[in-house]
Amino acid sequence: MSDNAVLELRDLSVGYYRDLNILSDLNLIARRGQITTILGANGVGKSTALKAAFGFLRPFQGDVVLGGKSILDIPTYKRINEGLAYIPQQPGVFKDMTVEENLELGAWTFRRDRARIKRKVEANYERFPILRDKRKQATGELSGGQQRMVEIGRTLMAEPQMLLVDEPTAGLSKILAQEVYDMLTGLRDEGLTILLVDQEIRHALKIADYVYVLELGRNKYEGPASDFTDLEKAFWVA
C-alpha cells in the first residue's frame, strides 16, 4: 500500500462487455485528505473508474483497495459501511420529500439510533446553513446547487471517509457550480478524501491536489495539479 493512500485502483481493466475494455491496466491512488481529479476526453473511462471503485462494475482484471484491503468481494450496498460513498452525476434527491426527510434517508445504516440521526442532521445544517432555513421545504423547490447540498449532506450522514464524485456541476450555472466547488474544498478541509471526475478542467485544476489524465482508458499523465497549467493550455484549451 502506498503511503497515505485511502483508495487504490491497481492494474484495473473494466468494461461493460467481456473482451471490450473501457479501462485497461489503470493505476490510480487517492491520498488521504486530498482531492484527486480524473480528467480526459468524453468516453475515456473516467466515470467507469468510479463505478468500478464502488462496485457497480466488477473488473475483469486488477483490484480495488480501500484502506489497504481489497473490497472486490464486498457488495456495493455494503461499501458505505467501509467508509466509501458515491455521488453520481445525475441528482438523486427525492424532490417531493422535504430537505430534512432527504437527509434522514442517509442514516439508513443506523436508522434506529434517533439521537445519532439528530446529531448528523444538525451537523449538516452547520455545514450548509441555507438548508436549515429550508428544512421543511420540498427539495424539488430548491435551486440546483442547493439540491446538490442536500445530496452531499445525505451522503455525509453515514460518515464516509472517502467520496467518489462524478461530474458534480453538470447542468449548473457558473454561480451554482462555484458553490459546489466551494463545498468540495470545504469537505476536503474537514479531512475527507475525494476522487473527482470532472469536465470543467479549469475549475477542477483549481481545487485538485493531484491529477490523473486518461486517454483511451489508460493512464496518460499524472502529477500534482500545479504541474498541469501548461498541459491544460497545450492539450485542452483551444
Residue type, 161: Q
More confident residue, 216 or 19: 216
Confidence of residue 2 (pLDDT cuts 50, 70, 90): low
Greater pLDDT, 111 or 138: 138
Q: Kindly report the pTM of this predicted structure.
A: 0.90
Report residue 164 as a C-alpha cell.
Answer: 467518489
Strands (E), 50-137: 61-66, 69-70, 84-87
Task: Please write the tens of the pLDDT for every residue from 128-164.
Answer: 999 999 999 999 999 888 998 899 999 999 999 999 9
* Residue 227 CA to its chain's centroid (Å): 23
What confidence tier does 236 reach under pLDDT thresholds 50, 70, 90? low
Say what the pLDDT of residue 201 is.
87
Residue with cell 493505476: 27
C-beta pairs of 178-181 under 8 Å, 24+ apart in sequence:
178/203, 179/145, 179/148, 179/149, 180/145, 180/148, 181/206, 181/207
Query: 228 exposed, middle or buried (CB, 10 Å; 0-12, 13-18, 19+)?
Result: buried
Residue 237 has pLDDT above 50, yes or no: no
Q: What per-residue confidence (pLDDT) applies to 66? A: 97
Q: Quick one: pLDDT band at residue 1, thresholds 50, 70, 90?
A: low
Each residue's pLDDT tens digit, 47-71? 999 999 999 999 999 999 999 999 9
Model confidence at 3: pLDDT above 80: no
Q: Dihedrals φ, ψ of 214, to 5°?
A: -105, 150
In the CATH scheme, what is the code of domain 1-83+161-238?
Answer: 3.40.50.300
CA distances from 190 to 24, 34, 115, 123, 210 (A): 34, 10, 23, 12, 18
**Are residues 29 and 4 in contact, defined by beta-carbon separation less than 8 angstroms?**
no
In tens, the pLDDT along 191-217 reads 999 999 988 888 899 999 999 999 999
Q: In this predicted structure, what is the pLDDT of residue 234? A: 46
Per-residue pLDDT averaged across 101-126, rounded?
A: 93
**Residue spans in the chain of domains classed CATH 3.40.50.300:** 1-83+161-238
